[in-house]
Amino acid sequence: MYFVYKSPKTEKKRCCFLRGKKGVSGLIVAVLLLAVSLTIGGLVMGWISNYSSENMDSSSAQQVEQDECFKRDFKIVSVDSTGPQGTADGWATIIVENKNDEVIKGFLFKFIGSDQGLYAFENKTSIAALGGYVRNTYRLDGTSLNTAKNDSFNYGPNSATYNVTKVEAYPIIDIVVDTTKEVVCDGKMKYVDAKNFANQQ
């Protein structure tokens, strides 16, 4: 039987060597964790920055739209309109007055009929140009397609007779920020009931 003699000095060196390896391993782990944490932190901060920037851009664009729409003012001077009667053509002539020097590109007109139907048509052929109190005439007839592009102004539900009882007008404007965007100013809508069609002078 043989005995292996281990010197206390040798054992001590081996012990210290192992402890040193454990210390180095712990340091590497700590460095890796720090690197991962910094990477994740950078990604999160970048996402937050982009998200905030996009929200600010969106809010800024909406504010510009509201401000530009707020500047517009107009009056419906008169409406002469009849809906389709049987197979006869429907038509409408609407005179609008621009109340200030801000350009109005055109209008979205919504017609409410006695059948409670709602028919929307855009007309941008007569620009209410610069120069306050300019009046323009907007004509809608059988050649005018609705905003859905599937029916003309001649259309009546099942060719039934109906009369136009109310007309709503929404100004359409162009807004230039980075690009030109066409906007319908819902908040500036004005309307006229049938009884006042010819009484807006």
- Whole-number Å distance between alpha carbons of 159 and 151: 12
Half-sphere exposure of 197 (CA within 13 A, CB side): 15
Range of the structural domain that residue 48 is part of: 7-71
Residues 182 and 92 in one domain: yes
Alpha-carbon distance values, 30 to 34, 37, 75 (Å): 6, 10, 73
Residues 59 and 79 in one domain: no
Residues 77 and 65 in one domain: no
The domain boundary, picked from 53, 71, 89, lies at 71
What is the per-residue pLDDT across 97-141, written as a single tens digit (0 to 9) for each?
A: 999 888 898 899 988 877 666 778 888 877 666 557 788 888 887
Residues 169 and 148 in one domain: yes
H or E segment and range at residue 165: strand 164-176
What is the per-residue pLDDT across 15-63, written as a single tens digit (0 to 9) for each?
A: 554 455 555 577 787 788 888 888 888 888 877 766 655 555 567 888 8
Q: What is the mean pLDDT of the chain?
A: 75
**Structure pTM?**
0.64
Task: Please calculate the CA angle 157-161-165 and round it to the nearest 5 degrees.
Answer: 95
* Percentage with pLDDT > 90 across the chain: 16
Pick 105 or 157 by higher pLDDT: 105
Is 142 a residue whose pLDDT tops 60? yes
Is residue 2 in a domain?
A: no
The domain boundary, picked from 71, 89, 114, lies at 71
